[in-house]
Structure 1
């Protein structure tokens, strides 16, 4: 099967899966939708309004009808899965508005229509019902449009299509007679830079936790820009792109040569960076006459959608010399093809031992069987450079992930830092001589949300604060969005206005590529094997690897003991058991290798 045929098949499957998932969720009873976090109901809403039409595409309205600028939501108990940047539908009976979440904090939940949807978001500003509103997931076809546009591009570009097809089949020749001797980094990083610059078609760089992946990208990008190349930096998330651009801009130090494409809420990490230019869009016809951006070498950062989704016109008609795809192990093959369809050379940077992309399962289509990085590493093992020195993990922190995931090929360049606190609460856990501790308890909460673990997290954070640890050096992780809210509520007792503080509290998926001195990981699932739901998500070795490799001084994992009470004989009847077994074995081995502390409650001593 040709790549284009399989790509079109993938488009159809992706859309069908999206449609089925949407219909399945939206047709559940209301209480189930609320419990699953896909609906918020019985809401109070207060709108703010534009005084005039917000853009030229909006019709003129007669007062008191006005266009909605934003909607502040009042909810007694928000347990939704929604997050900032997500699209939702705000409704009240027959009234429906498509909006984006622009703020999601303990104090504020605010929606606003985007530039396109605002033309349909208007209401009587003097006489609207403020009560009984509902928020639901939104059905979107943005991925379908992106992939369809990519297919059209490839149909009209046989040379690039042939190159991508050969690459994905393992048949692309990548021999180079060029030599380059870069010496500014460590040996493994220098090797990666040399090979990436010299490779005529593509190169793969595996960057395990803390090995300087982003710094390596920055050096490669600067060399390419100095050579006058047009470089596209992409990744699955804006956070990853922003982190790359910060590092790159610090090397180039010329804001005309580093541009981030996206909305303001997608630019949190680069706001304030004086060596970078932020733009919502930069189509090629505008770029040609823009005197503020370089014509002699430039790096542009954006998601795959900015490059090939025609309706956005963010990077319309651009062609790049080189595409650098960061976190490539989190990017699906169809998404990567969208980037490759507009680039001549590809540098993939990632770690297939960390998080995988979210893809439709059980399709039988090879494009959805693995990430683009996993496939290319498998097809081209000799085209991969491994960064092998970790500057984040000391010898104690690196021990378990090195054994479980990296065949002990990594070494640590970070000295061990002991830490001792005087606070009584959880000092036994924090002061444990091992840098990585597994704290086990026996309290059973609801699936995916644990108030008990949230309280433990809050007390540990409070102990750290009382002994002088800065909040910006603490990261709190969990697999579930609902537990993020639970932890924030518990922490708010000790740290007022927690959303305004620099402490990182979010899901594991949002933490990849980042680090903190102290990491607390709340597994927040009392007995996943009992419900037998989403076991592949919870027992993901890659998610575990990310969670336990973010800390630089201490990593504390909190879990119910039942999480590790894995008995194969009780699970063998599961249809997916054979596929799941290697993952379960990884968790068993993690448990064996861990330094464990068991919680002792007062009633245990009675």
Structure 2
């Protein structure tokens, strides 16, 4: 593990190694990145490095929002570069994108650009042309069939992504493809490495998002073979209230625990409930509103004198869209005027986002069984790794018992590597940590 005092040097050394690998002639390089390790920073630096070496790289992202964010980062870091934004017919560029990049629906519209950025879906429609390098951002979110459709567009690729996040989402049964070398539901990086086992795999060693209270637990639960460290040490980040608590002592005790330890489990009485459990969801909303009511102040390396948290600094994460809809209603019911501005979304949509405080409705809360969906390690990883200060998990009592009585029963398939760590084990690690910071509601 890296000491936080050497974090910047370690991160810079890792990036230098990756750039050296790019100059060494490898056909592909994979960069595994833990949450908040600076994937975008690496992509921007690698793109500039390639342009400096007379290359015209393309950047492949997975969503339009990711493309627009990348263009903003590129233009800020390299203001003199001519950046192209490859877009579809229905895409409407923002004024910021128009100011930073040339927008075109065809590759011929962007021939004078030094870097061209677009979604994987748009690149799949490009009929011809070949580039020396492609940088594939959030590559673990790219399905293997999508990679197959665009691989003819470049000679060499830098695959940058987080292996602990959710795999590409599918809406149909996948049994027909399991074990096949062209399984489209498997992410592109995994399939590429299966066919090119000598590809160098590097890791970014520092998380600049997760505090020192969270990085060891998240690493142990979701990245056991590639541990990483927090970029900040003890005492760098802290939270406190401007006003004294009164009334809801259970909420205040949970928040005090989270602000002190970085984690808290707000545990409701044991009960089997549907996933639209209004009591649990309302508790999550009440906790979020309580942070605003009491004027929480966060201190960190960016704000050494402290900063009052606003609704945009807090998020509620859930497993299902109907839970998100109920959480938005619950926030309105709190009566706080700014509570409806708190972000509420599913794990799939929270990937890549960052907040000071994350409030999680545990996917297994109140359930009678532990399905593969609710045990998915990537889902829990996303939900518990968005925060810079504290993570609060809201759940009904009994999740450890549920895990013990419902071990993984997923079938084992030939030619399919076992997923490690599995969701059962990851949940056990997280629940063991949360058990030390439990508050009975």
| Greater length-normalized contact order (CA 8 Å, ≥ 6 residues apart) | 2
Q: Could you say which residue in structure 2 is the equivalent of 1:563? A: 399
Shift of 1:341: 2.0
Question: Would you say 1:366 and 2:193 are equivalent positions?
Answer: no
Choose the corresponding residue for 2:100, options 269, 276, 279: 276
> 1:201 and 1:447 mapped to 2: Cα distance?
50
TM-score by length of 2: 0.80
Question: Would you say 1:387 and 2:204 are equivalent positions?
Answer: yes
Alpha carbons of structure 1 residues 523 and 316: separation in structure 2 relative to 1, 3 Å? same
Q: How does 1:259-338 map to 2 (within 5 A)?
A: 259-262=85-88, 272-273=96-97, 276-277=100-101, 279=103, 281-288=104-111, 294-295=112-113, 297-300=114-117, 302-309=118-125, 315-338=126-149
Higher alpha-carbon deviation: 254-263 or 402-411: 254-263
Shift of 1:399: 1.9
Aligned to 2:238, the other structure's residue is in SS state: coil
What are the ranges of 5 or more consecutive residues in structure 2 without an aligned counterpart? 1-8, 296-307
Alpha carbons of structure 1 residues 399 and 437: separation in structure 2 relative to 1, 3 Å? farther
What are the ranges of 5 or more consecutive residues in structure 1 without an aligned counterpart? 1-182, 289-293, 310-314, 601-606
> 2:217 and 2:284 mapped to 1: Cα distance?
22
Do the aligned residues in 1 keep the contact of 2:210 with 2:230 (CA within 8 Å)?
yes
Q: Could you say which residue in structure 1 is the equivalent of 2:299? A: none
Do the aligned residues in 2 keep the contact of 1:478 with 1:506 (CA within 8 Å)?
yes
Choose the corresponding residue for 1:412, options 230, 237, 250: 230
Q: Could you say which residue in structure 1 is the equivalent of 2:374? A: 538
Higher alpha-carbon deviation: 195-204 or 215-224: 195-204
Alpha carbons of structure 1 residues 361 and 410: separation in structure 2 relative to 1, 3 Å? same
Shift of 1:381: 6.4
Shift of 1:540: 0.9
* Residue-by-residue CA offset, 1:335-393 (whole Å, 9 max, x unaligned): 11122121121111112222111245222323327322234456536601110011111
Q: Rg larger in 1 or in 2?
A: 1
Do the aligned residues in 2 keep the contact of 1:261 with 1:278 (CA within 8 Å)?
no
Shift of 1:225: 2.8
Q: How does 1:93-172 map to 2 (within 5 A)?
A: none
Choose the corresponding residue for 2:75, options 226, 236, 249: 249
Aligned to 1:565, the other structure's residue is in SS state: helix
Question: Would you say 1:427 and 2:252 are equivalent positions?
Answer: yes
Do the aligned residues in 1 keep the contact of 2:11 with 2:205 (CA within 8 Å)?
no
Question: What count of residue pairs does the alignment treat as equivalent?
Answer: 397
> 2:440 and 2:10 mapped to 1: Cα distance?
48
TM-score by length of 1: 0.59
Do the aligned residues in 1 keep the contact of 2:86 with 2:105 (CA within 8 Å)?
no
Question: Would you say 1:469 and 2:309 are equivalent positions?
Answer: yes
Question: Would you say 1:449 and 2:282 are equivalent positions?
Answer: no
